[in-house]
Amino acid sequence: MLTVLDDYPIHQTPEPLAHVSTSDHNFYDRYWYNAHDRGGLFYFGVGACRYANLGIFDCSLSIAIDGEQHAFHGSRRAPKEAGDLSCGPFRIDILEPMGRHRVTLQENETGISCDLTFTPTTVCVEEGRQTLRNERHVVMDATRLDQFGKWQGWIRFNGRELLVESESTFGLKDRSWGVRPVGNRFLGGAPLSDFQAIHFNWLPIHWENRCSLAGWFEDDQGNQWHTDQAFLPKHDDPKDASRASDPDLRMLSGSVDHELTMIAGTRRASSGVVTMNDASGESLTIHVKPVLVHRMKGLGYQHPEWGHGRWQGELKIEGESWREADLDPLALENLHVQQIVVATSGDEIGHGVLEQLHIGPSSSYGFSDWFDGAS
């Protein structure tokens, strides 16, 4: 099946672009964004994804503010044109490749709407390919790029309007694609002998003149099977941030040292010390203090109904809200979080997020079972 993208010289296989290179139903191609206020007053996230082999496109917008979280969810049959990033009232426009993106959500029955523009302040950085297998098949095999920036616009929710100012609202664009578990779980074949624990942390920080990125995956024994570390210079001119590369971007090749203090009865940090290490011996120690939590289920992650890649019908939208104080922090759907953090390193002060997903036992974090909380 041909699409308009086939008229561009961008093919990677002999197939038309409507057909991806694998028949794995877990193939995905995702847009993801976050934003946070300098003072920690609010956080919002946006997600949109096309699942080529499932024929589904879904999206979400979620905002955490004043101890509450409000979320918009949408899903549709995937359009034939992969460049169509719309779902009912929701739409993403790529104003410039690797540059400005615009997210709009027209007035709709959920009461949640927005008009938001992301403007980059760094170039994109490519994380290392993330590959994980179980005893039988590939669980995850993905490429990801990250780009730091700022946001301008507004969000309406719950009868309120929030103005988003670029001088005080930092954020990140995250594009990833490849294979990871999506849609309804495959239950065929012989049962697997064991499940794999997963412990994921991700720490992007906006400093005064640069940005830093540290991310790591660990198993139940604390072995880091994947890490990403980078320093990126900031640019005042969006054109300089929209280039394909930056000679001053620095990738680090060492492990990440961490000491996270968990809130009792949860799997969420109350503070932490993270040290980025390079094989050269250079290191940077960052102290982080969370000030606001956002549950990633607002963007579909581990959501019992709006999980990624689930068939909801030809077109469906829905809104939901909850109070943070009313949630069970150890329920599977509530484990995955991003927290706004204030970061310090020597005299430097930065602002960013600490993302955490901890499922299963861990010698590093002191968890003995699959869903127990910190003591």
Taking only the tens place, the pLDDT of each residue in 281-299 is 999 999 999 999 999 999 9
Question: For 25-49, how does the pLDDT look when each residue is reduced to its tens digit (9 = 90+)?
Answer: 999 999 999 999 999 999 999 999 9
Q: What is the pLDDT of residues 61-108, one digit of tens each?
A: 999 999 999 999 999 999 999 999 999 999 999 999 999 999 999 999
Beta carbons of 125 and 146 less than 8 angstroms apart:
yes
Which domains are present in the chain?
Answer: 4-183+196-359 (2.40.370.10)
pLDDT score recorded for residue 144: 96
Task: Residue 67: count other Cβ atoms within 10 Å of its Cβ.
Answer: 11
Question: At residue 189, does pLDDT exceed 90?
Answer: no
Distance CA 121, CA 105 (A): 24
pLDDT computed for residue 191 by the predictor:
82
Q: Is residue 268 very low, low, confident or very high in pLDDT (cuts 50, 70, 90)? A: very high
Nearest to 205 by CA among 349, 95, 327: 349
Question: What's the pLDDT band for 186 if we cut at 50, 70, 90?
Answer: confident
pLDDT single digits (tens) 232-244: 999 999 999 999 8
Give the per-residue SS3 of 311-362: CCCCEEEEEEEEEHHHCCCCCHHHCCEEEEEEEEECCEEEEEEEEEEEECCE
What average pLDDT does the chain have? Answer: 96
Condensed to tens digits (0 to 9), the pLDDT of residues 205-236 reads 999 999 999 999 999 999 999 999 999 999 99
Query: pTM of the predicted model, to two decimals?
Result: 0.96
Res 274: pLDDT: 98
- Looking at the chain, how many residues does it have? 375
**What's the confidence (pLDDT) of residue 249?**
95
- The answer to whether the beta carbons of residues 96 and 141 sit under 8 Å apart is no
Give the residue among 299, 246, 348 at the shortest CA–CA distance from 49.
299
Q: Which of 36, 26, 31, 27 is nearest to 355 (CA)?
A: 36
Rounded CA separation 160/232 (Å):
36
What per-residue confidence (pLDDT) applies to 306? 98
pLDDT, residue 344, reads: 98
Q: What is the mean pLDDT of residues 2-19?
A: 93
Half-sphere exposure of 239 (CA within 13 A, CB side): 0
* Spatial separation of the C-alpha atoms in residues 288 and 365, rounded to whole Å: 17
Region 188-207: what's the mean pLDDT? 90
